[in-house]
Amino acid sequence: MNRFTLIILALFFQMTAFAQSFDHSHQAFNEVLEQHVVVYDNNLKSAVDYKTLAHNRQQLDRYLITLSDAKKNQYETWSENEQLAFLINAYNGFTLQLIINHFTEFESGKADSIRDLGGLFSTPWEKSFFTLLGKKRTLDWIEHEKIRVDFDEPRIHAALVCAAVSCPKLRAQAFTAGKLDEQLEKQMVAFLSDRDNNGIDAQGIYLSKIFDWYQDDFNSLSSYISEYANALSDTEEQKDKLKQRSLNIRFVDYNWKLNSVNNR
């Protein structure tokens, strides 16, 4: 075996070991979520104990450092599910960090919503306040330039949580590659089963504004939601009408108040 071949093999094994060094169980984030996320309303909603998290933030910060330390070439060796779980957890984790970075503003009443954390000419989602895959990034970059571009997966809109009451629930567990399909499906079913956000009434179908903002991601929205008739309907009559697509769709107002335990 010549020297060049040995060098190539050494680099290959080095990259393989490097790729495997990342903890795809996201156990550290699991522990943060289990300690600070309160699930309620028959497992359809959740709220965050931001006050406790703000005073006990070391584990969250350490976990997010492990995400920031992951290199682009390392990320590119992962499976699609590993990449997507990584990005969803990054979005949710850095959103939590953004809130606790400004928690004194919420405690003092200067802020009531994540939207209050934006600048004069930018939103909080446009703030470059963390590093991911080798560069300073924004929450918008994760969602709109990475996830929505690289993955054809509309269920991410029931998984990315922007710290508002009307958001889908923040899971009390991290997303992981091995369970990703099951987790995303449960998120969408739970979100569509939450009658404060989605359902059927005398006027027709009412849906979260999320389905309005991202209609293109669902292709035919009426066709997409008809696949979730069991979650969206409360009676067989409603289910039949939904499947026949004979109901009008409207979008309800979005409650941007912080998804804290105090606002349950």
- Summarize pLDDT for 52-67 with one digit per residue, the tens: 999 999 999 999 999 9
Spatial separation of the C-alpha atoms in residues 254 and 251, rounded to whole Å? 9
Spatial separation of the C-alpha atoms in residues 157 and 137, rounded to whole Å? 20
pTM tops 0.85, yes or no = yes
Q: Which residues contact 153 (CB under 8 A, 6 or more apart)?
A: 84, 147, 184
pLDDT exceeds 60 at position 220: yes
Q: Are 44 and 87 in contact (CB under 8 A)?
A: no
Which tens digit of pLDDT belongs to each residue from 65-103?
999 999 999 999 999 999 999 999 999 999 999 999 999
Q: What is the DSSP string of 133-180?
A: TTEEE-HHIIIIIIIHHH---GGGGGT---SBTTSPPPPSS---GGGH
Residue with tokens 């450092």: 65
Would you list the domain boundaries of the chain? 23-195+254-263
Q: What is the DSSP string of 36-48?
A: HEEEETTTTEEEE
* Sign of the C-alpha dihedral computed for residues 39, 45, 50 and 56 taken in this order: positive
Residue with tokens 């606790």: 100
